[in-house]
Amino acid sequence: MRLLSLLGLVGLLALAGCSNEEDDIQLQSQGTPQKLTLITSSTPFYDVSRMSTRALPDGYVPYNVLYPTTVPEKTTIGVFMPPERITPSVDFVYKNANEWESTIGITEGVQYYIYGFMPKEDTEGAVIAPLNGDYANGATLTLNGLNAVTGADVCLIVGVKKWAPTPSNQTAPAIENSGIRLGEFGYAGGPAGSNYVYLLLKHIYAGLHFKAHVDPTYAALRSIRAKKFEIISDAIADAIDLTIELTANDEGNDPVTGIQYAPSQGANTSASATLFPYEGGPAEVEIPVSSPAGFLACYAPSICRSFELQTTFDVYDKQGNKTREDCVVRNVINNNLIPQISTMAAGELYTIDMLIQPTFLYVLSDPDLDNPTVTLTTTTNP
């Protein structure tokens, strides 16, 4: 059985220099603004379309080798660092393969506790409170106004470990050699240049991975340029509030001891998300014949029940002439296609094959296929 990873952050998050606005905000925190390096990892998503039973996670994987991954605009990590910082006002912003950057006030010798979530962009507000009066025991996080359906991988920090360089070792080891464990959140502030932190992240949404490709016969005559992928859900609510209880421990146990998904006040009963295009990305993408283009949708378990994938594309002949514009195809994704769709749990992912092909033959000046549709199929166990 193959485990398909979605988001497993393992790499360097070098924190140095935000925008002026962010710098102004962070100065409200105590401590000296300095560089803080995070090295993070996450459990893989389980591809339930390829698994007959659930299994335990098989380690942590680097962020830059994950497939599929969340859209770049949805990768900011919001971090709480009590006792000095109980609002995630300074964000850790993703820069490249394994680096997030920010500047944060750190007081040497202070015992901090690091809690947080990703993506910061998807929340309207976040609140933290100590568990049983002390952040050493854990924390209760409340995330308000999260999108019930999103192109983002919604995650929690579930493990923390500090690493400090020495005169003989200035290079942080790989996450596999860090000794980080689930359930530990403590972090002792050190002098500038000695603040490195490993993080573990846990998925709290389920996922759908769409793999789009074009029928080879049709591709010999036409090219398909996708302009938009949108997913619409028959959801209980389009916005939700999450209440998460994290219980710290030194046994390496999963600290998530309670999580509630509740409709936000005034939420609508239909949710949608644009998977493509995304901010900073191309306006369109040509769908290949092989090496399918991947698109990720994540959704809140128990909130979303069925989906419709709406695909918008243009058709071009092989001389580059546009023959059809703004074609729209709608595909229903429900229990008939994926029996597990309404019962998938957080961290589970299903892969859906999207084959773009014609349904019948148009005869033009030459035999020509010019009426493409999208056919969805799901992978099965080998």
Do the beta carbons of residue 151 and residue 278 sit within 8 Å? yes
Please give the Cα distance from 370 to 372 (Å, whole number): 6
What pLDDT does 64 receive?
A: 62
Low-confidence ranges of the chain (pLDDT < 50): 1-29, 51-58, 361-367, 380-382
CATH numbers and ranges of domains, the chain: 12-114+153-203 (no CATH), 206-237+268-378 (2.60.40)
- Closest CA relative to residue 189, chosen from 165, 167, 170, 162: 162
What pLDDT does 330 receive?
A: 93
Please give the Cα distance from 275 to 270 (Å, whole number): 16
Please give the Cα distance from 190 to 168 (Å, whole number): 18
What pLDDT does 185 receive?
A: 97
189-207 pLDDT, tens digit per residue, is 888 766 778 888 889 999 9
Do the beta carbons of residue 180 and residue 335 sit within 8 Å? no
pTM over 0.85: no
SS3 label, residue 305 = strand
What pLDDT does 6 receive?
A: 28
What pLDDT does 45 receive?
A: 66
Three-class HEC string of 51-118 = CCCCCCCCCCCCHHHCCCCCCHHHCCEEEEECCCECCCCCEEEEEECCEEECCEEECCCCEEECEEEE
What pLDDT does 380 receive?
A: 43
What pLDDT does 173 receive?
A: 77
Do the beta carbons of residue 42 and residue 8 sit within 8 Å? yes
Please give the Cα distance from 196 to 320 (Å, whole number): 52
Q: How far from chain centre, in Å, is Cα 259?
A: 18
> CA torsion 51→56→59→62, rounded to 10°?
50
